[in-house]
């Protein structure tokens, strides 16, 4: 690991993170986590690139059994951005669509103007045309990555549509509230590949009217994401659960704030304490939903753009997890777990993923062959699973894609109506 990255633990967290004179990116990781290891070179590059402007530290969650609860960590890797001792954003299961906006927010000067003062495209119709033209050229030339793995590994940000539309070093800013810019990249990163995906990159920019304030839309979208009976977080909670009452209270506070009332800080604090107490007694899937909701238990003026991303991910992953945990019998599930463990052990022997194109293709071919071989061993014992596998994958794909498509349609419709 680079000398520029520092290990911290409970006893040094206050000194090296909360009291730091420069912004801090905290990597919550674990030695057994493959994605954590793959993220390390990215963090080393950032630490080297922003010497004096940014500190990168690593916190091993296995060093303290209370770390998950203390920092409300739902999984690793999780990155938390801290400026002046205060968390200003986080992302879990790190990808370019979450890391780049988080990094940009962390390195930017604290805003002197609120999101409510932003006017889309700076009120300039020609600027909007230039932003759309850049993305259209990128779509036509192939510079805007559309293969799933490329979209989720381009950590330099070059393949993100918001960066192409509005280069960081240029003057053609989109001038949108941070959540909307982040969601633009997030949905592009996760929607199914193909012509519809490339069209989305243009449709989003076209749907944004020139010269209006879209901050109210972010508030409406938060409420919709929490409370919509078909596609909101509340749909994933049993009506008999106390978590339903908690979410109802959260929606009530945000609705009051949206309607112009000031919600005293003590009400947010009381709600977060309720959530912490409730989460400890929930099974994992419901506990994850509760933890995500907790991140939204602050005034809409204070929470970061990553809140929206985590809400959508929680909604989609809950549906996906339900399919994976109910589709197979206990014996079939045990066989799958053995297969996955065997595959992971064999994959480790293949070494780290190379960057050079030809070596990368060979590496992927080896992994594919290993996956096929270990699955065939399962199918010999449970031949019916081979037929059922395709149906399960189709159901999982629909569970993964459908909610995101509905969220996109909601936002596109609301943008066009603004």
pLDDT for position 112: 40
Low-confidence ranges of the chain (pLDDT < 70): 1-2, 65-66, 68-69, 97, 108-116, 142-159, 168-170, 303-306, 355
| Model pLDDT for residues 173-211, shown as the tens digit of each residue | 899 887 888 889 888 888 887 778 888 999 999 999 999
Dist. CA 266–CA 260, nearest whole Å: 18
Which residues are identified as catalytic? 33, 36
DSSP code for 94 = -
Q: Indicate the domain borders of the chain.
A: 5-94, 115-207, 215-319, 327-382
Q: Which two tokens stand for residue 9?
A: 């633990």
Q: Which two tokens stand for residue 366?
A: 């080896």
pLDDT for position 36: 87
Q: Parallel, antiparallel, or unpaired: how do β-strands 86-92 and 5-8 relate?
A: unpaired
Dist. CA 105–CA 256, nearest whole Å: 27
Dist. CA 74–CA 178, nearest whole Å: 23
For residue 185, what are the CA distances in angstroms to 86, 148, 205, 209, 318?
Answer: 25, 13, 12, 19, 22
Q: Which two tokens stand for residue 414?
A: 């609301």
Class of domain 5-94: alpha beta
DSSP code for 280 = T
Q: Residues 225, 226, 228, 229: what is their CA dihedral angle, to the nearest 10 degrees?
A: 130
pLDDT for position 152: 53
List strand residue ranges (DSSP E) for 155-224, in order: none
| Cβ atoms 196, 408 nearer than 8 A | no
Dist. CA 147–CA 192, nearest whole Å: 9
pLDDT for position 400: 83
pLDDT for position 113: 42
Three-state SS at 159: coil
Q: Which two tokens stand for residue 261?
A: 């009332």
pLDDT for position 1: 52
Q: How far apart are the first and last CA of the chain?
A: 49
Look at residues 211, 216, 242, 57 and name the one whose alpha carbon lies nearest to residue 128.
211
Sign of CA dihedral 347, 350, 354, 357: negative
Look at residues 233, 231, 222, 230 and name the one whose alpha carbon lies nearest to residue 288.
233
Q: Which helix (H) or strand (E) holds 373?
A: helix 357-381
Q: Is 60 exposed, middle or buried (0-12, 13-18, 19+ CB in 10 A)?
A: middle
Dist. CA 106–CA 122, nearest whole Å: 23
Please give the order of strands across the beta sheet that includes 5-8.
5-8, 55-60, 24-29, 78-83, 86-92
Q: Which two tokens stand for residue 312?
A: 């959508």
For residue 349, what are the CA distances in angstroms to 144, 272, 370?
Answer: 33, 45, 11
Q: Which helix (H) or strand (E) holds 86?
A: strand 86-92
What string of DSSP letters covers 300-363? TTT--THHHHHHHHHHHHHHHHHHHHHSS-HHHHHHHHHHHHHHHHHHHTT-SPP-SHHHHHHH
pLDDT for position 150: 55
Dist. CA 244–CA 199, nearest whole Å: 37
For residue 31, what are the CA distances in angstroms to 34, 38, 63, 66, 77?
Answer: 8, 11, 10, 17, 11
Q: What are phi and psi of 221, to 5 degrees?
A: -65, -40
């Amino acid at each position: 690991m680079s000398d520029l990255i520092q290990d911290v633990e409970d006893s040094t967290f206050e000194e090296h993170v909360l009291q730091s004179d420069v912004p801090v990116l905290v990597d919550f990781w674990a030695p057994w986590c493959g994605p954590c290891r793959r993220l390390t070179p990215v963090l080393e590059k950032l630490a080297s690139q922003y010497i004096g402007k940014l500190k990168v530290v690593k916190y091993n969650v296995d060093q303290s059994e209370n770390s998950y609860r203390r920092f409300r960590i739902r999984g690793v890797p999780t990155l938390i951005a801290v400026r002046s001792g205060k968390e200003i954003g986080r992302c879990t299961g790190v990808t370019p669509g979450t890391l780049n906006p988080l990094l940009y927010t962390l390195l930017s000067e604290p805003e002197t103007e609120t999101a409510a003062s932003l006017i889309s495209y700076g009120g300039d119709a020609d600027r909007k045309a230039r932003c759309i033209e850049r993305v259209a050229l990128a779509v036509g030339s192939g510079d805007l990555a559309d293969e799933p793995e490329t979209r989720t590994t381009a950590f330099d940000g070059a393949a993100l549509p918001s960066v192409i539309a509005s280069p960081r070093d240029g003057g053609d800013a989109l001038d949108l509230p941070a959540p909307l810019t982040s969601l633009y990249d997030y949905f592009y990163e996760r929607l199914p590949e193909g012509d519809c995906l490339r069209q989305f990159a243009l449709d989003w920019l076209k749907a944004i009217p020139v010269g209006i304030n879209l901050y109210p839309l972010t508030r409406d979208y938060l409420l919709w994401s929490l409370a919509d009976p078909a596609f909101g977080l509340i749909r994933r909670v049993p009506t008999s659960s106390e978590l339903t009452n908690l979410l109802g209270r959260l929606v009530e506070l945000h609705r009051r704030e949206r309607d112009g009332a000031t919600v005293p800080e003590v009400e947010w604090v009381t709600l977060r304490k309720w959530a912490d107490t409730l989460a400890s007694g929930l099974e994992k899937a419901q506990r994850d939903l509760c933890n995500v909701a907790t991140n939204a238990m602050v005034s809409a003026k204070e929470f970061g753009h990553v809140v929206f991303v985590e809400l959508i991910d929680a909604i989609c992953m809950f549906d996906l997890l339900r399919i994976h945990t109910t589709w197979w019998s206990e014996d079939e599930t045990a066989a799958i777990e053995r297969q996955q463990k065997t595959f992971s052990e064999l994959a480790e022997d293949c070494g780290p993923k190379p960057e050079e194109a030809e070596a990368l293709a060979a590496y992927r071919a080896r992994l594919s062959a290993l996956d096929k071989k270990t699955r065939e061993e399962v199918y010999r014992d449970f031949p019916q699973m081979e037929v059922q596998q395709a149906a399960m994958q189709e159901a999982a794909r629909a569970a993964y894609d459908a909610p995101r498509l509905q969220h996109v349609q909601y936002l596109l419709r609301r943008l066009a109506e603004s």
